[in-house]
């Protein structure tokens, strides 16, 4: 075979030089578009970061294998990955590097502090920044023109959580009246606990106690005993993964069975790792969280691809997949790999953007926030995580109150 076509080294060099010297020709091949993917893949948030990166990779592979960015002559997307190291300054440093490598936009961040710092660093260069998960409301209220969030913020998630809880309870004939809030003493937990105490009474619930615990916490026995003595109808936990798993297992071991466990933005309740490892403790736990739209065929396809890699199906993956698709959509409409044009196009995103797999209505950005973004209620049923609310997107009926 080698005799059929074997150019001399000189001919090859000449050819290479010719390609370099003829930019007009090489442009016909469409220069790849660089896209920054920022995730914390070392440090405390490494698990989330890995799943976020996976989502971005899947989206980029899909775009590239289906003809690239058509408006740019089929340009391929080239990922410039940055490890945010679970710290804001780590994120900032990576945005600086991505900027020097000439990315057209940055997607990711995961944690709110990283998103806040990294988007600010990107703003210096008018570099579009698409937040994946970070829920802090401050992210989109700073007036940064470059910052977009496709997923919902804290305010919108908690509002939905409270309203849906009231609806759920009313539909079931108001079985739950008393509530115990268990929360970690950090960002999510404390804020959430205050909100619950303020908002739940007007929705017909009585908060009998709020119990806080540090992160990490290695023993939940005292909290479980306290819950047993208070005997609430509903437990609302707001903790990270390990602590909630511990709480759920402790409750199960001590046979403490309320009428429901209703989580908000919980680290574990919408996590297949928890469902697989502790199916009994996880059974029927409800959560309000980011989740992919179960009715879209693409969701099932992506989930199979993820599970084929022996990985769990976490929300980070579909969110990052969708955020990368959002950039691709903006590139198509901008018609050029130019930061200002992409920012402009992102601002004008509308319902015609359908390549995402989140359970959101027609996309509409207001001050960088996707107003159609919403969290959904999930419940662990038969070792699967089902969407039970809102009904438009649901693939299962809620089981509430829990059968005795």
Partner 1 sequence: MTARDLLPIAVFAAVAALLPVFVTSGTWLNFAVFTLIVTLAAQGWNILGGYGGQYSFGHAAFFGTAAYATALLQVRFGVNPYLAFALGVMAAGLVGWIIGLLSFRSGLRGSYFALVTLAFAEVFRVLANASAFTGGAAGILIPLDVRPGNFQFASRAIFYWVALALVVAALLITRTLERARLGAHLVAVRENEDAARALGVDALAVKLSAIALSAAITGAAGALYAQYFLYLDSNIAYGTWISVEALLGPIVGGAGTAFGPVIGGILLHSLGELARKLLGSVPGLDLALFGVLLILVVRFPPRDIPGLLRRRARR
Site residues for partner 1 per CB under 8 A:
41-42, 46, 83, 87-89, 92-93, 96-97, 99-100, 112-113, 116-117, 120-121, 123-125, 136, 138, 142, 144, 185-191
Pick between residue 145 and residue 296 the one whose CB is nearest to partner 1: 145
Least separation in angstroms between CB 290 and partner 1: 19
Q: Which is nearer to partner 1, 94 or 199 (CB)?
A: 94
In whole angstroms, how close is the CB of 134 to partner 1 at the nearest point?
A: 11
Q: How far is the CB of 182 from partner 1 (least distance, A)?
A: 16
Least distance in angstroms from the C-beta of 184 to partner 1:
9
Q: Which is nearer to partner 1, 53 or 259 (CB)?
A: 53
Nearer to partner 1, 50 or 277 (CB): 50
CB of 85 to partner 1, least distance (A): 9
Residue 147 CB, shortest distance to partner 1, in Å, is 11
Shorter beta-carbon distance to partner 1: residue 157 or 285: 157
State which residue, 212 or 252, has the beta carbon closest to partner 1: 212
Q: What is the 3-state secondary structure (H, E, C) of the chain?
A: CCCCCCCCHHHHHHHHHHHHHCHHHHHCCCCCEEEEEEECCCCCCHHHHHHHHHHHHHHHHHHHHCCCEHHHCCECEEEEEEECCCCHHHHHHHHHHHHHCCCCCEEECCCHHHHHHHHHHHHCCCCCEEECCCCCHHHHCCCCCCEEECCCCHHHHHHHHHHHHHHHHHHCCCCCCEEEEEEECCHHHHHHHHHHHHHCHHHCCEEEEEEEECCCCCCCHHHHHHHHHHCCCEEEEECCHHHHHHHHHHHHHCCCCCCEEEEECCCCCCCHHHHHHCHHHHCCCEEEECCCCCCCHHHHHHHHHHHHCCCCCCCHHHHHHHHHHHHHHHHHHHCCCCHHHHHHHHHCCCCCCCCCCCCCCCCCEECCEECCCCCEEEEEECCEEEEEECCCCCCCCCCCCCCC
Residue 373 CB, nearest approach to partner 1 (Å): 20
Nearer to partner 1, 213 or 259 (CB): 213
């Amino acid at each position: 075979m080698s005799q059929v076509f074997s150019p001399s080294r000189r001919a090859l060099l000449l050819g290479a030089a010719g390609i370099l010297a003829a930019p007009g020709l090489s442009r016909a091949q469409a220069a790849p578009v660089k896209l920054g993917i920022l995730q914390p893949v070392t440090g405390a948030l490494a698990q989330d970061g890995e799943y976020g990166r996976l989502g971005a990779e899947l989206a980029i592979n899909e775009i590239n294998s289906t003809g690239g960015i058509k408006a740019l002559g089929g340009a391929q997307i080239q990922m410039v990955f940055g490890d945010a190291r679970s710290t804001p300054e780590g994120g900032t440093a990576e945005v600086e590097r991505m900027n020097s490598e000439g990315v057209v936009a940055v997607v990711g961040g995961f944690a709110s502090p990283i998103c806040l710092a990294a988007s600010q660093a990107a703003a210096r260069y008018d570099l579009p920044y698409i937040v994946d998960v970070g829920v802090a409301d401050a992210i989109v209220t700073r007036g940064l023109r470059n910052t977009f969030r496709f997923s919902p913020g804290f305010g919108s998630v908690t509002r939905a959580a409270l309203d849906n809880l009231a609806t759920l309870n009313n539909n079931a004939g108001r079985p739950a009246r008393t509530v115990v809030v268990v929360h970690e003493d950090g960002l999510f937990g404390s804020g959430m606990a205050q909100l619950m105490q303020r908002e739940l009474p007007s929705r017909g619930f009585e908060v009998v106690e709020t119990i806080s615990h540090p992160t990490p916490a290695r023993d939940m026995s005292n909290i479980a005993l306290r819950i047993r003595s208070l005997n609430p109808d509903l437990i609302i936990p707001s903790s990270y993964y390990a602590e909630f798993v511990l709480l759920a297992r402790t409750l199960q071991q001590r046979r403490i069975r309320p009428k429901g466990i209703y989580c908000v933005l919980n680290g574990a309740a919408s996590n297949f790792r928890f469902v697989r490892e502790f199916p009994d403790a996880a059974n029927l736990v409800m959560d309000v969280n980011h989740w992919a739209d179960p009715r879209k065929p693409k969701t099932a396809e992506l989930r199979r691809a993820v599970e084929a890699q022996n990985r769990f199906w976490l929300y980070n993956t579909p969110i990052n997949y969708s955020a990368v698709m959002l950039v691709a959509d903006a590139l198509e409409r901008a018609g050029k790999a130019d930061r200002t044009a992409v920012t402009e196009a992102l601002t004008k995103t509308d319902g015609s953007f359908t390549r995402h797999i989140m359970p959101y209505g027609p996309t509409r950005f207001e001050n960088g926030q996707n107003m159609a973004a919403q969290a959904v209620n999930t419940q662990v049923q038969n070792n699967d995580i089902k969407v039970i609310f809102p009904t438009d997107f649901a693939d299962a009926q809620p089981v509430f109150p829990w059968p005795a």
